Amino acid sequence: MNFASDNWSGATDAVMAAITRHKDGFVPAYGADTLTKAIAERFSEMFEKDVAVYFVGSGTAANAISMAAGARPGGLIFCSADAHLYNDEMGASEFFTGGMKLIPLPAHNGLIAPESLAAGLSRFPADSRTGVPAMLSLTQASELGTVYSVEQIGELAKMARARGMAVHMDGARFANAVAALGASPAEITWKAGVDILSFGGTKNGCWAAEAIVVFSPERFGDLEAIRQRAGHTASKARFIAAQFEGYFEDGSWLATARHANLMAGRLADGIRASKTARLGWAPQANEVFAVLPKAAIARLRAEGAMFYEWPAEGVAPGPEEDLVRLVTSFATSEQEVERFLGHL
Amino acid sequence: MNFASDNWSGATDAVMAAITRHKDGFVPAYGADTLTKAIAERFSEMFEKDVAVYFVGSGTAANAISMAAGARPGGLIFCSADAHLYNDEMGASEFFTGGMKLIPLPAHNGLIAPESLAAGLSRFPADSRTGVPAMLSLTQASELGTVYSVEQIGELAKMARARGMAVHMDGARFANAVAALGASPAEITWKAGVDILSFGGTKNGCWAAEAIVVFSPERFGDLEAIRQRAGHTASKARFIAAQFEGYFEDGSWLATARHANLMAGRLADGIRASKTARLGWAPQANEVFAVLPKAAIARLRAEGAMFYEWPAEGVAPGPEEDLVRLVTSFATSEQEVERFLGHL
Amino acid sequence: MNFASDNWSGATDAVMAAITRHKDGFVPAYGADTLTKAIAERFSEMFEKDVAVYFVGSGTAANAISMAAGARPGGLIFCSADAHLYNDEMGASEFFTGGMKLIPLPAHNGLIAPESLAAGLSRFPADSRTGVPAMLSLTQASELGTVYSVEQIGELAKMARARGMAVHMDGARFANAVAALGASPAEITWKAGVDILSFGGTKNGCWAAEAIVVFSPERFGDLEAIRQRAGHTASKARFIAAQFEGYFEDGSWLATARHANLMAGRLADGIRASKTARLGWAPQANEVFAVLPKAAIARLRAEGAMFYEWPAEGVAPGPEEDLVRLVTSFATSEQEVERFLGHL
Amino acid sequence: MNFASDNWSGATDAVMAAITRHKDGFVPAYGADTLTKAIAERFSEMFEKDVAVYFVGSGTAANAISMAAGARPGGLIFCSADAHLYNDEMGASEFFTGGMKLIPLPAHNGLIAPESLAAGLSRFPADSRTGVPAMLSLTQASELGTVYSVEQIGELAKMARARGMAVHMDGARFANAVAALGASPAEITWKAGVDILSFGGTKNGCWAAEAIVVFSPERFGDLEAIRQRAGHTASKARFIAAQFEGYFEDGSWLATARHANLMAGRLADGIRASKTARLGWAPQANEVFAVLPKAAIARLRAEGAMFYEWPAEGVAPGPEEDLVRLVTSFATSEQEVERFLGHL
C-alpha cells in the first residue's frame, strides 16, 4: 500500500528492455548518437510540430534550464503557490536564472485562476522597479492532482503573452494530464500558447528521463550551452534516449498513465463511498487528496501504508481528521488500492 | 576500432544486472533509500575513512558542485591547462561558483609540476585584487593519459594547503589511475592531501554514475542543498546507487579499468614497435597519444577506425604527421587493437 | 511642497563642506586612505563596539552585499512584504546571493509581528526541500514610517537566531529611527541581536554614502571581496568617507533626522486636526501616510505638491479618497508643511 | 612626487563647482531628473550619434555591467592579459555574467595584436564545448600607457564581429586616449566597430563618475534592470550627472587629459635624456613605464616619491634595476615632475 509518491516506484519493463537493448557498442557521446536524434524526432511527431528537444535527467533540471533559457535580469516568474518549482527545488530556478524572483500566486486546488494571475500581474506595472514579468509556469497535471482544461491554459497563456511573458508548462506528470483530458499533446501545449515544456518521464516509469521541449525557439536562446554549463548534458546520452524509446513503445507512456489515473479514480470512488473519509477535492489525474480520520490514518500506517499528510489549505479537517495525499503510479496494483480502502 | 572516447561505450553487464535487479518495488526518493545508504557506506570502506558521498549523474556536475562547495567570492581555481574542468565543461565551474576564475597552469603531459603551481600562485599575493586562491584541481588519471604519483599529489597538495586552498581531484578516470598505480584509493586521495574527489563511474562502465566524495567536511558546506539546487539530486536515486553496486561487485570496477589500461598498453607497445608511428609520451592509463603519418590516419579512418586528432602542444609532428588520441575502455577488444596496429 | 521622497533632496551644507575640504591632494585609493580609516573608527565609537565597516554608494548595494555575505545555497531571506529589499531593488539580493529566495511576511503598518515570523518559519521545517532559513531583514525605520522598539527587535532577532539565522537591519532611515526612539545606535542593533546593518546616509543629507556595519564578523565572510567583485569598492574612497565626516560633524546626522521627523509630526498633527483628511496610521519617523479626498489631492497637485499615492492595504479609503505617502527630509521647510496643510 | 595612480588624486575645481551648484532643491530620483537627461544628451552630441547612456559610480561597475548586457551562457570574453577587467576587478565580470570565462590574450605593451586575437579565437571553433566567443574588450588607453590607433581598433573589431562577438572598450582613460590620438570620440569607438564603451571620468578629475555608452543597442538588453539589480542605479543620480557637467564644461575633460599626457611626456623625455634610467617602451598617454636603478628607486622613495614597481614582462631589467610605473593626472604639477627627474 505505497502511495507516498510516484517517484518511489522503479522502472517499467519496457524502459528496462530498451536500456538493455542499447547497452553494447560504441556511439558518439553527448547526444550526437543516432538513437538520441531518432527519439528527438519522435517528439516532433508527437507534438505535430518541429520542436527542439533537450534531454535531461531530472524534473528540477528541466524546469530550471527552461527558466534560464527565458531569463531576464530582474525578471519575474509567476507560478502557483503550490508549484514544485516554487516549493520543492531548493531555489533551482532562482539559481539558474541569476536570481529571478518567483511570485507564488494563490491557486484553487492547484490551478491558477485568471483572476489570480491578473491580480499578481497588476502589482507589477510596466515601469516597476521590483521586476519584469518574464515567465508564467503552469503545472500540468498540477501538484494537487487537478488538470487545466485546454481553455484554461489558453486563457492564462493569452494573459501572460499580452504582458510579453513566455509560458512554461511543468509537465512532470504530463502523461497523466494527457490521459485525463483525452486531448492531444499539441492541444494542451503550443496550440494553447505554451512556449516551452518540461516533459516528464521519470514519475511515470522511467529511471531518469525528462525532456525540455521548445515550441517557440525564438524566445529561448543557448539551451545547449545552458544545459552543458549545468552539467546536465549526459555523456552517454543514449541512455536517456533509450528510456524514452521504451517509454513510447506501443503507447506504453499513456498506458501507464491511464493505469495510474485509474487507480487514483478507484481510490477516489472508494473514499467517496466510505462513511468515514471524504475527498478534499475531485482528483483528475494520479493524486488523491482526502480527509481521513486520524484513527484511520494510524490504522493504515500500522498496516504498512505509506503516504504523506498534507497542509490542508482550503480544506477544513475536523479536530480528529487530517488531509492526506495518495499518489498512484504504473506500479500501483488494484490489490493495494482495495486493501487501502478496506482499512478505511 | 573505436578509440574515440571511453564515454562512447555503453554499460557493463554487471552494471546492467544491478539496475535490473532493483527495478521493481517502492523505495523512498531522493536518496533516502537503503540501497543508496548502503552504497555510500561502501565508499567509506573503500577509502578507509568516514566519507560523505553525494551521487550525481555527470562528471561535470561532480566537478562543478565540488567547486561550488568550496567557493569563495573572488576565488581562484587552479588547474592544468589541459583540465576537463577548464576546457570541456562550458564554464560549469564558473557558473556554479558565482563566477570564480579558473587559472590554467602550464602542464607537462597533463601533469602540473610544482614549479608551475608555484609560478601560478606567485601571481596572486595575499592582498591581490585579482582574486583569492581557493581551490586546486588535479585530474587523476590526467586528460593526457598520465598519472600523478602519490608523492606528486602530496607535494602539490601541500603547496596548495599552505596557501589555504582546498584540493580537489577530478577522478573521472579514477579507477584507471588506481589500476595503474597499484596504490589504494586512500593513498592517492586524503592521505596525500586531497579534500574532495569527483569519483567517476560513467567512463568505466556505468551509464551515468559519479560520486562526490568529501574527505574534509569542515571545508565544504551545504553540499546537499547545492546538489538539489542544481537539479542533480536524482528522485529515483537508487538507480545511481544500483549502478555503483554493479560497478563494485567482485572488484568489477578495477577489472574493467585494468582491461582498459592493458589495451592502452598493447596499443602503446605496438606503436613503439612500429616503424611509422611513435608515442607522444608514455601512457600510464587508458589513453594513448601517438604521432601517426597522415597517410596512416587516412587509411585507418577508411577502415572505420574512430579517434580524434589532438592539439600537438609539446610534441612536434612532422609536416606529414599528426598527433592522435586513442582511448580504450572496458569495451575495447584485443581484436580491435590488433586490427588497428595492423593498419599502421 | 515636495514630499515625493527623501532621496529627491540634495546634500546638506555639512556634507558639501566636507567633500570640498578633501578635494585636493593625493591619497591612497580603494579605502587605504587615512580619512576612510578614521571614519570607520568613528563607527566603532558610535556603536560602542569594534565593528567592521564597508562603505558603498547605494542602499541597494548595502543590502545586497550584506545578504551575499550571509548567503547559503538554497537559503531563504525573510522580510516584510513591504520591504525595500523585496519590492524596490530589482532582485538585487537574489542576484548577489546566487538565487536566495525572499519570503515576504505579512506585516502590520510595516512592522513584522512575531506571529508573522513564526508562521513564515513554520513553513520551512529543518529538513525542508524548499530552502534553508538564513537571514531575517528588518527595516528600521520601516518603509511605512513606523519604528520597531528595542524590545520588538530583540524578540524577532531571538526567534531568528533560534533557527540559526543571521539578523540584518536595513537602516536606510536609521537616523530617523534613532531620533524617533531616543535609543542609542547600539541598543537598536547588536545589543538587540542584529548581526549586520545597512547604515544609510544618502536619504538624510549625503549624496551617496552608505555603510555596511558588521557586528558579528564570524557570521559573514569575504565582505571585501564581495564588495569589490560587485564594483562597489570606490577607487576615490575618501569621497564617501568625507560625506560621513560631514554627516557626523556636530551631530549633524541626528539634527537632520530630528528635523525630518519633526516636519512629519507637523504634517501628522495638521492632518489629524483637519476635517477632510485622516492618518492611515500614526507616523513615528519621517513618512506620513494619510487618506485624502481625491479633490484635495487634485488641488494639491495643481498647486505643485509632489507626493505618491500608495497601495492602501490595511486602510480602507472611501470611493472619493486615496492613501498618499508624504516623505519629509532635512530639506523640508516649515513653510512647505504649512502650505500643504493649508490646502487640505 | 605622487605617481602612484591617477585615482589617488581628488576632484577638479570644475567638478566640485558643478556638484555644489546642484546641491539644493528637489529633483526626481534614480535618473529621472532633467540634469541627468541633459548630460545624457551631451553624450549623443559628443559621439555624433544617438547613444544610450547609463551612469554608474565605478569603472568596475561600468565594465561588468557592459559584460552582463552582452552575456551568453558559456560565453567567452577575450581581453589583453594586462586588462584591468581580468586582473583588477576580483572577478566582477565573471560574477555579473553568471560565470563567463575571460581569455587573457598575450599583448605587446598592453595592446592586443591581430595575430594574438586570431590565435586565441582559433582555440574555440564554432562547435567548441569550452565556450562561445561573445565579447572582445579593448582598453583605451591601455593599462600600459599605450593607445590603439583607429586602424588597430577597426581591425580587431572586424575580426571579433566576424565571429559574432560584440566589442567593448574599457575607457577608464578614454580622455587620455582622445587627447593622445587627436581623433574624435566617434572615430575611436563606433565608427571603428566598438559596440559599447565604459567611459571613465573618475581617473581624470571626477569623484565617482563613469558612463556606459551603448552604440549598438540591438546587441545589449535590459541595461536598466542590470544596473539596478547590481545596486548601481544612484538614487540621487543628479550627483553623477553634475560631475559630468563640470567635467565637460569648457572642454575641461580634454584639458585635464592633455595636461596629464603632457606631464607623462615630460617624464618620458627626462628619462630618455637621463644616463641612468630608460623607458620600458614609448608612452602615449598618462602612464610611463621606466627601468630605474634600484639605487635611484630607493633615493626617490626616501624623498617621498610614490609609485609602484611593475612586473617586467617583455622588458629585461638588469640585476640592479627594476621596472616602475609612473602615472600622471590633472593634479600632477611640473614641479613634481622636475623634482622627480632631478633625483634620477
Between D86, D87, D101, which is nearest B91 by CB? D101
More reliable by pLDDT, C316 or A203: A203
CA distance D22 to D241: 10
- Compute the C-alpha angle D91/D92/D98, nearest 5°: 90
CA distance A108 to A85: 17
Given pLDDT bands bounded at 50, 70 and 90, which one contains residue C331? very high
- C9-250 against C252-342: fold identical: no
pLDDT in the model for residue D336: 96
Cell triple for residue B316? 612536434
Given pLDDT bands bounded at 50, 70 and 90, which one contains residue D315? confident
Average pLDDT of chain B is: 96
Chain-chain contact of B92 with A231 (C-beta, under 8 angstroms): yes
Predicted confidence (pLDDT) at residue B125 exceeds the cutoff of 90? no
CA distance C182 to C177: 8
Which residues of B fall within a CB distance of 8 Å from C99?
Answer: 229
Nearest CA in chain D to C226: D90
Indicate the DSSP class of residue D58: -
CA distance D53 to D227: 12
pLDDT in the model for residue D325: 98
What is the pairing mode between strands A308-309 and A321-327? antiparallel
Domain at C9-250, CATH class: alpha beta
pLDDT in the model for residue C158: 98
Long-range contacts of B219-224 (CB under 8 A, 24+ apart): B219/B70, B219/B166, B219/B195, B220/B66, B220/B69, B220/B70, B220/B166, B220/B195, B220/B196, B221/B69, B221/C72, B222/B69, B222/C72, B222/C73, B222/C74, B222/C132, B223/B52, B223/B54, B223/B65, B223/B69, B224/B54
Cell triple for residue C123? 513553513
pLDDT in the model for residue A316: 87
Chain-chain contact of C207 with D19 (C-beta, under 8 angstroms): yes
| Segment D281-296 mean pLDDT | 97
Using left for φ > 0, alpha for ψ between -120 and 50, and beta otherwise, residue B36 falls in alpha
Domain ranges of chain B: 10-250, 252-342
Q: Comparing A167-181, B114-128, C72-86, C156-170, which segment has the lowest mean pLDDT?
A: B114-128
Nearest CA in chain A to B225: A90
Residues B147/B178, Cβ–Cβ less than 8 Å: no
What is D10-251's CATH number? 3.40.640.10
| Segment B119-129 mean pLDDT | 88
What is B10-250's CATH number? 3.40.640.10
Average pLDDT of chain D is: 96
Determine the residue among C223, C229, C247 to mutate to test chain D binding: the one whose Cβ has the most chain D Cβ atoms within 10 Å.
Answer: C229
The closest of A92, A176, A186 to A139, measured between CA atoms, is A176
CA distance A311 to A107: 14
Determine the residue among B63, B72, B95 to mutate to test chain D binding: the one whose Cβ has the most chain D Cβ atoms within 10 Å.
Answer: B95
CA distance B179 to B260: 10
Chain-chain contact of B235 with A92 (C-beta, under 8 angstroms): no
- C166-196 tens-digit pLDDT: 999 999 999 999 999 999 999 999 999 999 9
| Segment B185-210 mean pLDDT | 98
Per the DSSP assignment, residues forming a β-bridge with D108 are: D111
What angle do the packed helices A238-248 and A13-21 form, to 10 degrees?
140
Surface-to-core class of residue C314, CB atoms within 10 Å of its CB (0-12 exposed, 13-18 middle, 19+ buried) = middle
Predicted confidence (pLDDT) at residue D128 exceeds the cutoff of 90? no
Predicted confidence (pLDDT) at residue C126 exceeds the cutoff of 90? no
pLDDT in the model for residue D290: 97
Between C75, C91, C129, which is nearest A101 by CB? C91
Chain-chain contact of B74 with D91 (C-beta, under 8 angstroms): yes
In percent, how much of chain C has pLDDT > 70? Answer: 100
pLDDT in the model for residue C92: 97
| Segment C315-322 mean pLDDT | 92
**Could you tell me where the beta strands, DSSP code E, fall in chain B?**
52-56, 75-80, 101-105, 132-139, 166-171, 196-200, 210-214, 278-279, 287-293, 308-309, 321-327
Instruction: Classify domain A11-250 at the CATH topology level.
Output: Aspartate Aminotransferase; domain 2 (3.40.640)
In percent, how much of chain B has pLDDT > 90? Answer: 95
Which residues of A fall within a CB distance of 8 Å from C131?
Answer: 90-91
Instruction: Give C76-108 as a DSSP string.
Output: EEEEETT-HHHHSSTTHHHHHTTSPEEEEEP-B
pLDDT in the model for residue D344: 87
Chain-chain contact of B16 with A20 (C-beta, under 8 angstroms): yes
pLDDT in the model for residue C30: 96
- B215-265 tens-digit pLDDT: 999 999 899 999 999 999 999 999 999 999 999 999 999 999 999 999 999
CA distance D222 to D241: 21
Rounded average pLDDT per 10-residue block, chain A, 344 residues? 96 98 97 97 98 98 98 96 95 96 96 98 85 96 98 98 98 98 97 98 98 97 95 97 98 98 98 95 97 96 96 86 97 97 92
pLDDT in the model for residue A344: 87
pLDDT in the model for residue A311: 87
Counting as contact any 3 or more CB pairs under 8 A, the partners of A are B, C, D
Cell triple for residue D151? 586602424
Q: CB count, 10 Å around CB of B55? A: 29
Q: Which CATH superfamily is domain A252-342 in?
A: Aspartate Aminotransferase, domain 1 (3.90.1150.10)
Predicted confidence (pLDDT) at residue D286 exceeds the cutoff of 90? yes
CA distance A202 to B240: 14
Counting as contact any 3 or more CB pairs under 8 A, the partners of D are A, B, C
pLDDT in the model for residue D314: 79
Counting as contact any 3 or more CB pairs under 8 A, the partners of B are A, C, D
| Segment B166-179 mean pLDDT | 98
CA distance A168 to C164: 36
pLDDT in the model for residue A291: 97
Which residues of D fall within a CB distance of 8 Å from B130?
Answer: 86-88, 90
Q: Which residues of A touch D (CB under 8 A)?
A: 30, 68, 72-75, 98-99, 129, 132, 221-222, 225-226, 228-229
pLDDT in the model for residue A256: 98
pLDDT in the model for residue D127: 77
Between A73, A221, A225, which is nearest D226 by CB? A73
What angle do the packed helices D238-248 and D252-273 form, to 10 degrees?
60
Per the DSSP assignment, residues forming a β-bridge with A219 are: none
Given pLDDT bands bounded at 50, 70 and 90, which one contains residue B129? confident
Nearest CA in chain A to D227: A73
Predicted confidence (pLDDT) at residue C341 exceeds the cutoff of 90? yes
- D185-240 tens-digit pLDDT: 999 999 999 999 999 999 999 999 999 999 999 999 899 999 999 999 999 999 99
How many residue contacts between A and D have a Cβ separation below 8 Å? Answer: 39
ipTM of the complex, rounded to two decimals: 0.96
